[in-house]
Amino acid sequence: MTEEKARTVTIDGKEYALDSLNDTAKNQLMNLRAADQKINALQQDLAMFQTARNSYAKVLAENLPESPEAAAE
């Protein structure tokens, strides 16, 4: 026979056996994990869009006239 290690979760520095959580706590844990995953995905998207924006701004700056007056002519 092999001994199975109980699955645990650490919340606020305290370790809990998943089996010891009631249904409400388990549901909230799933919600928390889903929210964390979405936040991570959004942070990755934000980094990608910031990189793209910086690139657009660089290309724009490279294509502006030497002086604002030159644009008015």
Structural domain contains residue 71? no
Q: 3: pLDDT confidence band, cut at 50, 70 and 90?
A: low
pLDDT, one tens digit per residue, over 5-18 is 679 999 999 999 99
- What kind and span of H or E run contains 26? helix 23-62
User: Are 9 and 15 within 8 A, CB to CB?
Assistant: yes
Which pTM was predicted?
0.70
Paired tokens of 64: 């502006």
Structural domain contains residue 73? no
Structural domain contains residue 69? no
For residue 26, what are the domain limits? 8-62
Domain count of the fold of the chain: 1
User: Are 25 and 11 within 8 A, CB to CB?
Assistant: no
Structural domain contains residue 22? yes
d(CA 67, CA 73): 11
